[in-house]
Amino acid sequence: MDRVGGITMVMMVIIMASGTLAADSEERLVRMLFNESAYNSGVRPAQTPSEVISVKVTLVISQIIGVVEKEEVMRTNVWVQQEWTDPRLRWNKEDYDHIDLIRVPAEAVWLPDIMLFNNKDGQYDVALYTKALVYDSGYVYWLPPAIFTSECSINVRHFPFDKQNCTMEFGSWTYNKREVDLQQGGISRDDFKESGEWAILQIPDRKIETDDNVFIAYDFMLARKPLFYIVNMIVPIILLTLLSILVFYLPVDCGEKVGLCINILLALVVFLLLIADIIPSTSLDIPLIGRYLMFTMIFVTIVTVMSVYVGNVHFRSAATHVMSPWIRYIFLGLLPRLMKMSPPGEEPEEEEDSAPTWDAVEMRKRDGVVQNGKASPGRPPVPPRADLPQLAPDLRDAAGNVQLITGHFKDQDDDSAVMCTAVLYSIVYTPITGHFKDKDDDSAVSDEWKFMAALVDRICLWLFSIILLVGTVVMFAEPWYEDSFR
């Protein structure tokens, strides 16, 4: 046991000594690189004034935080990976216990000053200056994190089924292309977190060169996930518009047709205000959902106008309107046959004869209602109707005159009875028949107007249903057959 303990102690001492020696070697290396050699981080690491320093830029995407349509900006969480070679930071690792990598503060080495040029919030630089990795060959690797807010021109034409192209443009803020040349390193999504609203289609990178500068641009091609807007905006709008069609199924006598249309129109205005708070205030184009809302508002407005017209037609009478021959031909002759409706005065054909069958007569005989073709004397009398219409004042006067005349000629001869009949016909029958004839004529005219209103309701129900279906399909299918969208 003593031998084992001694060996353990020796190994621990050796390890501590080697760690101390390694720390001493790294300290000597850092002192040699930055103190003894008089390293200046503000000087470009070029061996000749005409040498161009090549810097490789790679964008490591961590998260798409969001795209704010109202402000036309995109917020991203990225790491800007930068790689270059600094000859002044080379060393022989054999002289420093085989140390081939050191980590130094980013402020201590030369940096190419890579900035986001199309920044929108004033934060052009990275968020945190992390340490840079320096290798024995002079290769420098720096991976600082950053949260950028970049410009993003929003195309609202297909909102909420839109696709956006947001560009991040990086370049050296201090050096031109004759001093620093940026190389494309592509993108990396090793640590990427999916967004709940946006899906990344692709992110191509491209190199842009001007007369003096060089830039690396990353085009974020994003597609919106529209489920939230479908559930909370599109489906309620479609259901409200479908509800407006049921106005034509609602009876005119209920008096709520126009009120229902106005309430639906106000609800659509509320949705229009919600959309105005989301999309940017631009006059370049109208968003898809905005166009559909305008379509539904015009649709409901026309439905309201038609409901007012149907109500006007329904309550017309012979005293206020006269139906012209062409209206009578179209709405009482032609259209009813097309819509399978029977105009007033035309009863539908009965499939079976309404005359009582032999079995029905036998059953009624057994019940004592019919005996030898005559009503049974034991049948209870029919009670008088209490809902008979009251006579008009002129008819009541005529009935009073009848009682006076019949009382006067009650005991007279046959000639007097004939005279009584003639007088009764002139003063009673003629006014009564004329009254009921006029009443029947007025009722027939009112029934024709009411039938015309019902016919217009039926036609509008089918016509507006087809218009709504076709309009909805055409408008929401537009993004998928446009070449610019695909």
Question: Phi and psi for 135 in degrees, rounded to 5?
Answer: -100, 165
Report d(CA 221, CA 200) in Å as an integer: 6
Report d(CA 429, CA 421) in Å as an integer: 10
Tokens of 201: 């289609």
pLDDT, tens digit, 9 for 90 and up, residues 186-215 = 999 988 999 889 999 999 999 999 888 999
Q: Is the pLDDT of residue 306 over 60?
A: yes
* Dihedral sign computed on CA atoms, order 361, 364, 368, 373: negative
- Contact yes or no for 280/156 (Cβ under 8 A): yes
Which of 32-41, 212-221, 377-386, 447-456 is modeled with the greatest confidence?
Answer: 212-221
Q: Is the pLDDT of residue 136 over 80?
A: yes
H-state helical runs in 163-280: 227-229, 235-245, 257-278
- Contact yes or no for 150/73 (Cβ under 8 A): yes
- Peptide bond just before 251 cis, omega within 30 deg: no
Average pLDDT, the chain: 79
Would you place residue 382 in the very low, low, confident or very high pLDDT band (cuts 50, 70, 90)? very low
Instruction: Look up tokens 């009935």; give the residue.
Output: 399
In 3D space, the residue among 262, 267, 275 whose CA is nearest the CA of residue 301 turns out to be 262
What's the DSSP call for residue 173? S
Instruction: Look up tokens 């609800």; give the residue.
Output: 267
* Dihedral sign computed on CA atoms, order 125, 127, 132, 133: negative
pLDDT, tens digit, 9 for 90 and up, residues 438-481 = 555 557 777 888 888 888 888 899 999 999 999 999 988 887 77
Report d(CA 15, CA 223) in Å as an integer: 57
- Contact yes or no for 201/221 (Cβ under 8 A): yes
Instruction: Look up tokens 């898809």; give the residue.
Output: 288
* Cβ contacts of 180 within 8 Å, gap of 6 or more: 44, 52, 53, 55, 112, 172, 214
Three-state SS for 245?
A: helix
What burial letters (b/e) apply to 89-106, b meaning 16+ CB within 10 Å? bebebeebeebeebebeb
pLDDT, tens digit, 9 for 90 and up, residues 219-242 = 999 999 999 999 999 999 999 999
- Contact yes or no for 292/476 (Cβ under 8 A): yes
- Residue 397: per-residue pLDDT: 61
Q: Is the pLDDT of residue 418 over 70?
A: no
Q: Is the pLDDT of residue 350 over 60?
A: no
Select the more confidently predicted residue: 37 or 368.
37
What percentage of the chain exceeds 90 in pLDDT?
36
What's the DSSP call for residue 35? I
Report d(CA 193, CA 60) in Å as an integer: 12
- Contact yes or no for 147/124 (Cβ under 8 A): no
Question: Phi and psi for 208 in degrees, rounded to 5?
Answer: -115, 125
- Contact yes or no for 70/278 (Cβ under 8 A): yes
Would you place residue 423 in the very low, low, confident or very high pLDDT band (cuts 50, 70, 90)? low
Question: What value, to the nearest 5°, has the Cα angle with vertex 200 and ends 232 and 217?
Answer: 130
- Contact yes or no for 142/106 (Cβ under 8 A): yes
Neighbour tally for 107: CB within 10 Å: 10
Q: Quote helix, strand, coil % in the chain, to nearest 5.
A: 45, 20, 30
Q: 298: buried, middle or exposed (CB in 10 Å: 19+, 13-18, 0-12)?
A: exposed
The count of residues in the chain is 486
Q: Is the pLDDT of residue 111 over 50?
A: yes
- Contact yes or no for 295/475 (Cβ under 8 A): yes
Chain-centroid distance, C-alpha 162: 12
Mean pLDDT confidence for 144-169: 91
* Largest distance between two CA atoms of the chain: 166
Select the more confidently predicted residue: 218 or 353.
218
Would you place residue 379 in the very low, low, confident or very high pLDDT band (cuts 50, 70, 90)? very low
Q: Is the pLDDT of residue 386 over 70?
A: no
pLDDT, tens digit, 9 for 90 and up, residues 246-261 = 888 888 888 788 889 9
- Spell out where 405-456 has E strands: none
* Dihedral sign computed on CA atoms, order 470, 476, 481, 482: positive
Three-state SS for 428?
A: helix
Report d(CA 360, CA 357) in Å as an integer: 5
- Residue 254: per-residue pLDDT: 83
Question: Phi and psi for 265 in degrees, rounded to 5?
Answer: -65, -40
- Contact yes or no for 31/101 (Cβ under 8 A): no
User: To which H or E segment does residue 14 belong?
Assistant: helix 2-31
Select the more confidently predicted residue: 419 or 42.
42
| Region label for 59, one of left (φ > 0), alpha (ψ between -120 and 50) or beta (otherwise) | beta
Three-state SS for 168?
A: strand
- Residue 347: per-residue pLDDT: 57
